[in-house]
């Protein structure tokens, strides 16, 4: 069909070639995309310009464009970054997020690799005995007043005896997929259920309100995601390379570090970024486990709701400095994220 | 190949430790992860279970824990705290009865289909009965408390955020992914831009939307006043406050759905799409027969990921509305947090456990009955 014979309706609604779009579809597509771009940008824009406002500009009704209907000032930035101690929480956030992410990635990738490549056969009876003894220890310590060193030594002794007597005679075992499911299912657990005992635990260890406590906890809550995603990356790479290296005498750990890890780089970057964002923005656990010393940014932001009402300009500064670095990192690594998450989601 | 792993004796001597490590590397590699989860999940869960069954009280020089059995749970489900967790039940009208009957019929149909399938196992049957029971209970609670005269409690609020929130985010994310998957210019720009909200801390989002929705000083204030609304505030009415929480949550999480679905859309078989286009298939037919089957497993999995996270929502309602007006926006995690703040540690742990129970049943059911079939269908 030549173009001249097409009616107006056909020209509007039918594509002129494959991989092209009709003009109407073209317009609608762009209109919708720009609409959502506005939805994304308006809140960000408003936060950004509010950070250059003062009490006067905020209270005297909305002003939209800097230099045109209000004079931007750096007062809030000066107040939050130089006069107030924002740097402390900021550093805390950076240290906690980066350290916990690296730790979670390390521990999680190790476990995921082992679960993909090595066959496990843990006897069900051993697991059941372990859990029962754990419950017994807790009841004995909390309810009956036994000191915990005594209780744990007795429990370990009982566990060893059990291993050598009836456990070795049972057949039922948990395999790799059961262990995997168990690790991943821990992500379902709402942090609010676990946070109180964790609080008490760190109180006993005198680690409350330290970065160590937050790093350890964040590592634990993000570990299931790391295992979930990385196991699929490892499962997707061909076994041959690793096997030939093993025949040449390299140990499993060596193969993991020198062959398997580099092969899943893209996926690791995606996982790293996702976990980093989760740790960077985490609120509930930080609220419980940190106070003045190890306070992180989300807690600081939420604490801006003072008795005089929220001071929007100061808060906006905090939000902007919190978003900026992650946006930069994520925009640079954006391609990896999509690819990495896709593998995880297809096979997960 | 003759390169068999024969160590010479002297190497074996110097490498005794390394060899031991190599032989036991499996357990050694998994052990750190297992220990971390034992310390931060299993152990706290057992302690929390103990707390949920006790009454906590401050005493001179410390505190006392008194074992009181299921009293905390009874208080929440049938006693003085019922209004808080479940809400107040309203009078059921014809519409409500109809919805209840439809749900019950649907569940019975699914159950009967399973029991007549000839592949019935004890675990499978018990699991399905549990799933059906919990679903029916949740649906009943939701319908009864949103009926005339009823007031939803924190369970229904949480379900609202989970069901409506995740569904909206999925629909928007899928729509945007399909738009961005078209051959257009500027795809990368949109892709990076649309991703940004995911990275904003939820606390920050809460404050941002409070600023935006300010009826006196926000950017939309002139617009709102032009329509003639002067004194009204979204924060004072239950449904508008809930809507604000949903809007903030959707703004943040649509990008997650978008980014993964876009990758899946771009991975769909291009040759099939081209062949279908040549054969004159329209956009909807291509979506139904090619795109959707290709992305269904991914779609099911990311919805599961979002379901898991959505049940934990606290920061947004806590900062945006403080759980108010009344209890209107309070999620279960926030409920538990508030109970903790008033030193009702037993009640707090009990709410946490109920949340754990509900989210486990819902997420595992979703995994078994939606994600697994979607993946099997593909292979």
Q: Is B312 on the interface with A (CB under 8 A)?
A: yes
Q: Is B5 helix (H, G, I), strand (E, B) or coil?
A: coil
Q: How far apart are CA A165 and CA A151, in angstroms?
A: 21
User: Cis omega before residue A236 (within 30°)?
Assistant: no
Mutate to test the interface with A, among B1, B19, B29, B226 (most CBs of A within 10 A): B29
Distance of residue A121 Cα from the nearest chain B Cα, in angstroms? 10
The mean per-residue pLDDT over the stretch A128-148 comes to 82
Tell me which of B22 and B347 has the higher pLDDT. B347
Q: Is B343 on the interface with A (CB under 8 A)?
A: no
Beta strands in A198-250 (DSSP E): none
Tell me which of B139 and B10 has the higher pLDDT. B139
Cβ separation of B176 and A46 shorter than 8 Å? no
Distance of residue B115 Cα from the nearest chain A Cα, in angstroms? 26
What is the helix, strand, coil percentage profile of chain B, to 5? 75, 5, 25
Please give the structure tokens belonging to residue A119.
């066959």
Structure confidence at residue B78 (pLDDT): 87
List the single residue in B with minimal CA-CA distance to A328: B196
Whether the pLDDT of residue B88 is over 90: the answer is no
Cβ separation of A253 and B36 shorter than 8 Å? no
Report ipTM for this prediction.
0.86
Query: Which chain A residues are closer than 8 Å to B319 by Cβ?
Result: 302, 305
Structure confidence at residue B1 (pLDDT): 37
Cβ separation of A302 and B46 shorter than 8 Å? no
Q: How far apart are CA B358 and CA B365, in angstroms?
A: 11
Q: How far apart are CA A66 and CA A53, in angstroms?
A: 9
Q: How far apart are CA A220 and CA B34, in angstroms?
A: 10
Distance of residue A345 Cα from the nearest chain B Cα, in angstroms? 5
Residue B59's H or E segment, with its range, is strand B54-59
Q: How far apart are CA B157 and CA B164, in angstroms?
A: 10
pLDDT tier at A109, thresholds 50, 70, 90 = very high
Whether the pLDDT of residue B50 is over 70: the answer is yes
Cβ separation of B360 and A186 shorter than 8 Å? no
* Interface A:B, Cβ pairs < 8 A: 308
List the single residue in A with minimal CA-CA distance to B179: A29
Chain-wide mean pLDDT for chain A?
A: 84
Q: Which residue has 């900062």 as its token pair?
A: B319
Cβ separation of B184 and A256 shorter than 8 Å? no
Residues 6+ apart with CB under 8 A from A122: A173, A174, A179
Query: Which chain A residues are closer than 8 Å to B360 by Cβ?
Result: 185, 188
DSSP codes, A274-311: HHHHHHHH--HHHHHH--SSS--HHHHHHTT--TT---
**C-alpha atoms less than 13 angstroms from C-alpha of A338 in its C-beta half-sphere:** 22
pLDDT in tens, A280-325: 999 999 998 988 888 899 998 888 776 667 788 888 999 999 999 9
Please give the structure tokens belonging to residue B368.
């078994």
Q: How far apart are CA B169 and CA B198, in angstroms?
A: 12
Distance of residue A246 Cα from the nearest chain B Cα, in angstroms? 9
pLDDT tier at B7, thresholds 50, 70, 90 = very low
Q: Which of residues 21-50 of B touch A (CB under 8 A)?
A: 21-22, 25-27, 29-30, 32-34, 36-37, 39-48, 50
Query: Which chain B residues are closer than 8 Å to A342 by Cβ?
Result: 260, 263-264, 267, 298
Whether the pLDDT of residue B273 is over 60: the answer is yes
Q: Is B322 on the interface with A (CB under 8 A)?
A: no
Q: How far apart are CA B217 and CA A140, in angstroms?
A: 59
The mean per-residue pLDDT over the stretch B303-316 comes to 92
| Orientation angle between helical segments A211-236 and A176-185, nearest 10 degrees | 140
Distance of residue B78 Cα from the nearest chain A Cα, in angstroms? 21
List the single residue in A with minimal CA-CA distance to B282: A14
CB of B173 within 8 A of CB of B254?
yes
Bridging pattern class, strands B87-88 and B151-152: antiparallel
Please give the structure tokens belonging to residue A181.
């499911």
Tell me which of B4 and A211 has the higher pLDDT. A211
Query: Which chain B residues are closer than 8 Å to A253 by Cβ?
Result: 21-22, 25, 29
Tell me which of B329 and A347 has the higher pLDDT. B329
CB of B42 within 8 A of CB of A134?
yes
Given B44, B262, B312, which is nearest A197 (Cβ)?
B44
The mean per-residue pLDDT over the stretch B38-46 comes to 90
Query: Which chain B residues are closer than 8 Å to A322 by Cβ?
Result: 200-201, 204
The mean per-residue pLDDT over the stretch A217-225 comes to 94
Q: Is B226 on the interface with A (CB under 8 A)?
A: no
Query: Which chain A residues are closer than 8 Å to B205 by Cβ?
Result: 43
Mutate to test the interface with B, among A106, A188, A289 (most CBs of B within 10 A): A188
Query: Which chain A residues are closer than 8 Å to B336 by Cβ?
Result: 192-193
From B339, B331, B348, select the one nearest B157 (Cα to Cα). B331
Cβ separation of B208 and A47 shorter than 8 Å? yes
Chain-wide mean pLDDT for chain B?
A: 86
DSSP codes, A136-196: HHHHHHHHH---HHHHHHHHHHHHHHHHHTTGGG---EE-HHHHHHHHHHGGGS-HHHHHH
pLDDT in tens, B89-104: 888 888 899 999 999 9
Please give the structure tokens belonging to residue B347.
């009640």
List the single residue in B with minimal CA-CA distance to A191: B312
Tell me which of A141 and A216 has the higher pLDDT. A216
Cβ separation of A256 and B201 shorter than 8 Å? no
Distance of residue A335 Cα from the nearest chain B Cα, in angstroms? 9
Q: Which residue has 């941002």 as its token pair?
A: B208
Whether the pLDDT of residue B8 is over 50: the answer is no
Mutate to test the interface with B, among A345, A347, A348 (most CBs of B within 10 A): A345
Buried b (16+ CB within 10 A) or exposed e, B337-368: bbbbeeebbbbbbbbbbbbbebbbbbbbbbbe
Q: Which of A159-173, B204-218, B297-311 has the highest mean pLDDT?
A: B297-311
Q: How far apart are CA A290 and CA A218, in angstroms?
A: 13
Q: How far apart are CA B87 and CA B76, in angstroms?
A: 10
Q: Is B353 on the interface with A (CB under 8 A)?
A: yes
At residue B249's C-alpha, the angle toward residues B247 and B253, to 5°, is 120
Query: Which chain A residues are closer than 8 Å to B248 by Cβ?
Result: none
Contacts 24+ apart (CB under 8 A), A291-295: A291/A208, A291/A209, A292/A209, A293/A209, A293/A210, A294/A92, A294/A96, A294/A209, A294/A210, A294/A211, A294/A213, A294/A214, A295/A88, A295/A89, A295/A92
Phi, psi (degrees; rounded to nearest 5) at B88: -95, 135
Mutate to test the interface with A, among B41, B51, B262, B284 (most CBs of A within 10 A): B41
pTM of the predicted structure, to 2 decimals: 0.88
The mean per-residue pLDDT over the stretch A123-127 comes to 84
Q: Is B212 on the interface with A (CB under 8 A)?
A: yes
Mutate to test the interface with B, among A93, A190, A305, A313 (most CBs of B within 10 A): A190
Structure confidence at residue B19 (pLDDT): 74
Cβ separation of B41 and A220 shorter than 8 Å? yes
CB of A116 within 8 A of CB of B35?
no
pLDDT in tens, A240-295: 878 887 777 777 888 888 888 888 887 888 889 889 989 999 999 999 898 888 88
Burial of residue B322, with CB atoms counted within 10 A of its CB: 0-12 exposed, 13-18 middle, 19 or more buried: middle
List the single residue in A with minimal CA-CA distance to B15: A251
């Amino acid at each position: 069909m030549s173009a001249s014979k097409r009616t107006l309706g056909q020209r509007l609604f039918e594509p002129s070639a494959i991989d092209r779009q009709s003009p109407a579809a073209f317009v609608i597509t762009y209109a919708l995309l720009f609409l959502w771009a506005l939805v994304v940008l308006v809140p960000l824009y408003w936060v950004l310009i509010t950070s250059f406002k003062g009490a006067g500009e905020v209270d005297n009704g909305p002003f939209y464009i800097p230099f045109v209907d209000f004079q931007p000032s750096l007062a809030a930035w000066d107040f939050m970054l130089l006069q107030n101690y924002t740097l402390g929480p900021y550093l805390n956030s950076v240290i906690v997020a980066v350290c916990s992410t690296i730790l979670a990635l390390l521990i999680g990738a190790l476990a995921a690799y082992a679960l993909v490549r090595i066959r496990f056969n843990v006897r069900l009876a051993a697991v059941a005995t372990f859990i029962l003894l754990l419950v017994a220890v807790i009841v004995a310590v909390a309810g009956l007043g036994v000191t915990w060193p005594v209780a744990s030594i007795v429990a370990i002794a009982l566990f060893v005896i059990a291993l050598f007597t009836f456990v070795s005679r049972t057949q039922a075992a948990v395999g790799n997929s059961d262990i995997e499911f168990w690790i991943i299912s821990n992500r379902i657990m709402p942090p609010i259920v676990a946070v109180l005992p964790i609080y008490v635990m760190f109180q006993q260890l005198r680690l409350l309100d330290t970065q160590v406590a937050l790093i350890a906890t964040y590592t634990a809550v993000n570990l299931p995601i790391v295992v979930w995603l990385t196991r699929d990356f490892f499962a997707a790479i061909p076994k041959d390379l690793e096997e030939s290296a093993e025949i040449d005498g390299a140990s499993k750990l060596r193969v993991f570090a020198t062959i398997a890890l580099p092969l899943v780089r893209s996926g690791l970057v995606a996982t790293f970024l996702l976990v980093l964002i989760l740790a960077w923005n985490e609120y509930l656990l930080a609220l419980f486990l940190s106070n003045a010393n190890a306070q992180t940014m989300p807690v600081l932001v939420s604490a801006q709701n003072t008795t005089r009402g929220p001071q929007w300009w100061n808060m906006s500064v905090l939000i902007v400095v919190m978003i900026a670095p992650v946006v930069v990192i994520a925009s640079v690594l954006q391609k990896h994220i999509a690819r990495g998450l896709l593998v995880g989601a297809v096979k997960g | 190949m003759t390169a068999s792993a024969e160590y010479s004796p002297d190497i074996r001597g110097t490498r005794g430790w390394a060899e031991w490590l190599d032989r036991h590397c499996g357990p050694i590699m998994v052990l750190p992860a297992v220990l971390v989860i034992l310390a931060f999940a299993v152990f706290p869960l057992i302690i929390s279970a103990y707390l949920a069954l006790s009454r906590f009280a401050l005493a001179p020089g410390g505190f006392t824990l008194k074992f009181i059995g299921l009293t905390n749970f009874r208080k929440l489900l049938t006693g003085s705290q019922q209004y808080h967790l479940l809400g107040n039940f309203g009078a059921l009208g014809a519409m409500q009865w109809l919805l209840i009957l439809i749900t019950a019929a649907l569940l019975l149909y699914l159950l009967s289909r399973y029991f007549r399938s000839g592949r019935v196992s004890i675990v499978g049957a018990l699991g399905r009965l549990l799933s059906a029971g919990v679903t029916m209970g949740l649906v009943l609670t939701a319908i009864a408390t949103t009926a005339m005269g009823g007031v939803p409690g924190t369970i229904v609020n949480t379900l609202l955020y989970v069901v409506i929130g995740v569904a909206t985010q999925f629909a928007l994310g899928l729509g945007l992914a399909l738009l961005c998957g078209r051959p257009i210019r500027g795809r990368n720009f949109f892709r990076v831009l649309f991703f940004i909200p995911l990275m904003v801390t939820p606390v920050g989002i809460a404050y941002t939307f409070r600023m935006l929705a300010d009826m006196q000083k926000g950017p939309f204030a002139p617009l709102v006043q032009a329509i003639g609304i002067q004194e009204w505030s979204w924060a004072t009415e239950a449904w508008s406050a809930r809507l604000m929480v949903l809007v903030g949550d959707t703004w943040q999480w649509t990008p997650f759905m978008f980014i993964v679905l876009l990758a899946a859309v771009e991975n769909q078989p291009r040759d099939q799409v081209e062949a279908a286009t040549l054969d004159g298939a329209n956009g909807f037919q291509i979506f139904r027969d090619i795109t959707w089957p290709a992305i269904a497993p991914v779609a099911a999995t990311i919805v599961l990921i979002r379901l898991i996270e959505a049940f934990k929502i606290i920061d947004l309602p806590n900062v945006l509305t403080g759980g108010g007006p009344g209890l209107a926006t309070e999620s279960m995690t926030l409920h538990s947090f508030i109970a903790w703040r008033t030193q009702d540690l037993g009640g707090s742990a009990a709410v946490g456990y109920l949340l754990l129970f509900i989210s486990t049943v819902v997420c595992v059911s979703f995994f078994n009955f939606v994600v697994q079939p979607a993946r099997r269908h593909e292979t």
